[in-house]
Amino acid sequence: MTGVTLFLMFLLNLGILTFPDVARCSGVWKTIRKSNCSAGTDVDFESFREQFHRNYKLHSDCYHRRRSYFKNSIKRHAYLNSLSTDKDSAKYGINQFSDLSIHEFRELYLTATAETVPPYSGLKTEGLPAKFDWRVKAAVGSVQNQQATRVKLVKQSEYPYKAETGICHLFSQSHDGVLVKDFAAHDYSGHEEAMMGRLVEWGPLAVTVDAISWQDYLGGIMQHHCSCHHANHAVLVTGYDTTGDVPYWIVQNSWGTSWGNEGYVYIKMGGNVCGIADSVTAVFL
């Protein structure tokens, strides 16, 4: 990705430019227009509404607004997909967020902030496996569509996830909970091999990332389209895979299993893509 494109993506993230503006500046606007001559039609929108159970009234203000956002998302997908032809690269397209504006998506889903943590200064771990995933060891819970919690951790059987707004129930000390004994937080930018060792030795790692382009993610390995040092979302790194042409982190998201790779996103290892190594936390139970 050229320096000009990176700068344009930075302006895009700030909301100064729109995707069509960036596309014109970067010379891909003709490609986008050609690939979208039949995309974003009312038939596409109705298919989206049916698939994702959107019930806004036909031809209401809400309907027209959502249809406009949907058509904008089609242009956005074409632009993002035009930036890389690598077979392993991330693919972008229609998902459950396609009728949200970029501003709405930020307000609803990108609300996390990262605290400054000390840089990692240890050594990398030698002899690590080429591929590792805590899911194989049944150490990772299922993907859910949820918000963060700031209360005591209890067994899921005692407090099942319901995917609805309600009253938070506190538990007395007689209920079993999870005791957090300690935690460690470091900046591993430039030390992702050491981060691999911490993952294997300590367990899944909580990280904060820039997820601005995740609104349109369908699958594949994310290698561009996001920045470091601009965290807005918290996720869980559960594993990695270095056996292919593009090594990647395996990351669990919290937007449900219909998003991405059944709720997961793959992020290229090395280069601190999406700021995945900026703020890394391990919790000891």
pLDDT in tens, 125-162: 889 999 999 999 988 988 988 544 444 555 555 556 55
Strand partners, 235: 207
Which of 121, 26, 129 minimizes the C-alpha distance to 79? 26
What digits encode the pLDDT tens for the residues 40-91?
678 899 999 999 999 999 889 999 999 999 999 999 999 999 988 788 899 9
* Secondary structure element (H or E) that encloses residue 282, with its range: strand 280-284
pLDDT at 23: 42
CA dihedral sign, ordered 77, 88, 230, 146: positive
Read off the amino acid at residue 197. G
Query: What is the Cα–Cα distance from 123 to 142, expressed in whole angstroms?
Result: 32
Which of 112, 285, 129 minimizes the C-alpha distance to 199? 129
Count of CA atoms in the C-beta half-sphere (13 A) of 81 = 20
Q: ∠ CA 271-276-278 to the nearest 5 degrees?
A: 90
Structure tokens at 36: 């979208």
Domains (range + CATH), the chain: 3-82 (no CATH), 131-284 (3.90.70.10)
Q: Which of 13-27, 79-93, 175-189, 246-260 is predicted with the least confidence, judged by mean pLDDT?
A: 13-27
The pairs formed by 12-16 with CB atoms below 8 angstroms and a separation of 24 or more are 13/210, 13/212, 13/227, 13/230, 15/102, 15/103
